[in-house]
Structure 1
């Protein structure tokens, strides 16, 4: 700090994170999804602490974080027509007291009780007139531990962007650091409807040269009609696959949908996932997906309703090094989850090939390509396209976590369990690797997964099948453990 200040460098400045003045088109579509309660884009993170953090320090840490990342002080300013991309503006009525809550865990204090409490917090809608996030300290866990549950709108960031932000806001030491940067509080911003509409119009005018270039490129391509036709046909065949129009039918067992979210948490040593990936010459993500789909296979068998495949969606990061942190930089990959394959090795290889194909689909980025047009549609119209997510039985993501010890207000973060939104699918599975542990959070639709205890047992067994592929005489098979 002092070295930077003496050299004339302003170190007391906010992070370079989520600092765009308005939403991207993709962020906008996620924001407008809240028009339908079933499509709410609430993302959640449950952190388990080794002790109760000091409340005053925790409040001060949040106040500091809201200056380091001013997005946490900003609310969404939308057009009166609910069209175009909204702006972000520092809320003149920002009240940290509203966003931070403190409760004591009731019941038996178990992990199941904690997850039940978090379910209720997650299902409560965020206030669209305030910065879209809330944080709750939950005390009273066994052995003097505590938990912190944060929920925010997906329009703020994708999973990778969230980890990039948390890595910079969490402390590397248990002790207070008085020398950390202290940027000033951002000034409140008032954006009028006219300002917003003027900005939206300017953006559309700015896109004209690009659209003209695209048109000219298309005209020039006609000079080579065979090549142009080949590209067009490949892209045209890819669009239905990326849009989920040729996905396998959803499982009849998982067909029902509701507004009920149900959380489950699991953990697995990251070394075991790596060993299984090495043994199968696949990626860790392939092994993770094979474990999940193995759980679905066993669940269908136990329920007496076996199927050959289920529709699965995975996010594909299109984030580039030059992209700003925060916001959403994702595309969607479609898989036919091979639930009917009992052999775990064959299942991993099948998934590996499907993921490879999905990542290289010519139309993989069509959602981002069309988003600038879709962002002009009102939420009620956008929801007509929600079938592309509600037809999925499983959506699964895997996000690299923070690879070093982190602390919050004197408490060590032992685990970080992520819970993604449930946009009409039967289950959202998310894994974050924290301190050598794969922390898996499942958000299930209570009407789709009707026996959550049985599913948990099946998931443990499904991962056991895959992790056993790396076992030998010197290394016993790895184990997925349910956190209860």
Structure 2
């Protein structure tokens, strides 16, 4: 008997990614695929300690797609590619398509695994199906197995993804027959006319809010000095948040292509926290200082030093009452202090820049204007995004799962996240999994031309930062997984 049967309650899906329509920010990410260079594919590489039971794994995915029906839903867009699309359960959902199994070729090394994952990640998702694919990759040393999950960023942001994975992974290696068993969601057919009616209805419902905003703006004119000051602060903030005012990009990293290159690293999260405590900064500040320190060393080794470079970070605007799925992020812009050699000064400089970025008056402008931007055709949206996204580095840090997790009898040993490259040279993403900070680096092959040297420089950059967290300067530091 399941827990639901014992309590008389009906088993039901998770409250995760349950909105029937895309938000405006999700829509902008979805339309990004209009430009191949802006594809919003996010990936997670898990390393499992053994080969899972295949039948259990298939059953786990089938169960997961009932617990989180978003994995059975496809995107239904308007025939004009404008407005916010809807999510609808795919009447042709076929798990056989979404779950694959392959064997690693070559020497079975981590480098060989990452090359395979690069190729999988660069292959476009089928827009006519639910936008995700899971691949089990066998053939690793010591009987280990990898699992590579790729999905479209329109599904969720990093924090939302971890919330979903934490609920869909198991806390035990053994099979749990008492799990909730919600029914399969019914297929949904949405016509173009239905979609356009819904979009227009939403615009009508926004009218009172827009009228109220206009009235508040008129009332603010009763205090003209205060109103002018607020307007000027917001107006000055918009170009900074939009990336229209930023330091010039590094000439060394100037080229862009369609080629993704993955690297994986790990570091003790205790060492990162110790450095944060010693410098009175946040874990994120220390993480950024290590990354930017690596860029400093790389530029010096390549004979092309720079003082600053454009850096972007996601700023979560997720509130406790927000649904777990979807994207609830804004963008923070930094002038990465690459020229600062002293790691302590670099951490403090980053700390101050992050504080300013989080409190920009226009920090949430893309969420504010999203309902209008969603009506722009994808090609026009990408022209705007292309001018605002030329960062040398985008970096995010997502809290992970702080306990042992299992899938179909296999223990998850590591979780390496890889974000997309929306016009940037390098995307760095860190997830902390059970005491280990796992860092996934996605770099543009045309921008970072010496991947091994870049990895060595990142290790040195983190080493000089993490040394501040110990009395004797000794640290295990960042380790490349290879």
Q: What TM-score do the two structures reach when normalised by structure 1?
A: 0.99
2:18 corresponds to 1:19: yes
- Match of residue 8 from structure 1: 8
383-392 vs 100-109, which moves further: 383-392
- Match of residue 263 from structure 1: 262
Cα distance change of structure 1 residues 205 and 410 upon mapping to structure 2, 3 Å threshold: same
C-alpha separation between the residues in 1 aligned to 2:3 and 2:37? 52
Cα pair 1:239 1:363 within 8 Å, conserved = yes
- Match of residue 80 from structure 1: 79
C-alpha separation between the residues in 1 aligned to 2:261 and 2:325? 27
1:7-63 deviation per Cα after TM superposition (whole angstroms, max 9, x unaligned): 3322x1100000100100000000000000000000000000000111111111000
How far the C-alpha of 1:478 sits from its partner, in A, is 3.6
- Match of residue 165 from structure 1: 164
- Mapping of 1:67-466 within 5 angstroms? 67-466=66-465
Cα pair 2:313 2:333 within 8 Å, conserved = yes
C-alpha separation between the residues in 1 aligned to 2:345 and 2:207? 49
2:305 partner SS: coil
2:84 corresponds to 1:65: no
Structure 2, gaps ≥5 residues long: none
| Number of equivalences | 482
1:393-447 deviation per Cα after TM superposition (whole angstroms, max 9, x unaligned): 0000000000110000000000000000111100000000001000000000000
1:71 partner SS: helix
Cα distance change of structure 1 residues 180 and 398 upon mapping to structure 2, 3 Å threshold: same
C-alpha separation between the residues in 1 aligned to 2:188 and 2:387? 37
How far the C-alpha of 1:246 sits from its partner, in A, is 1.7
1:172-203 deviation per Cα after TM superposition (whole angstroms, max 9, x unaligned): 00000000000111010000111101100110
C-alpha separation between the residues in 1 aligned to 2:373 and 2:179? 42
How far the C-alpha of 1:148 sits from its partner, in A, is 0.1
Cα pair 1:57 1:409 within 8 Å, conserved = yes
Cα distance change of structure 1 residues 3 and 146 upon mapping to structure 2, 3 Å threshold: closer
C-alpha separation between the residues in 2 aligned to 1:363 and 1:197? 30
Cα pair 2:290 2:461 within 8 Å, conserved = yes
Cα pair 1:243 1:388 within 8 Å, conserved = no
Structure 1, gaps ≥5 residues long: none
C-alpha separation between the residues in 2 aligned to 1:402 and 1:388? 36
C-alpha separation between the residues in 2 aligned to 1:69 and 1:3? 19
Cα pair 1:389 1:423 within 8 Å, conserved = no
2:478 to 467, 477, 480: 480
1:464 partner SS: helix
- Match of residue 41 from structure 1: 40
Q: What TM-score do the two structures reach when normalised by structure 2?
A: 0.99
C-alpha separation between the residues in 2 aligned to 1:32 and 1:276? 40
How far the C-alpha of 1:386 sits from its partner, in A, is 1.9
C-alpha separation between the residues in 2 aligned to 1:409 and 1:7? 27
1:72-101 deviation per Cα after TM superposition (whole angstroms, max 9, x unaligned): 000000000000000000000000000011
How far the C-alpha of 1:243 sits from its partner, in A, is 1.0
C-alpha separation between the residues in 1 aligned to 2:243 and 2:192? 37
2:240 partner SS: helix
C-alpha separation between the residues in 2 aligned to 1:465 and 1:437? 19
C-alpha separation between the residues in 2 aligned to 1:103 and 1:2? 35
Query: Superposition RMSD on alpha carbons, in Å?
Result: 0.9
C-alpha separation between the residues in 1 aligned to 2:384 and 2:391? 13
Cα pair 2:337 2:349 within 8 Å, conserved = yes
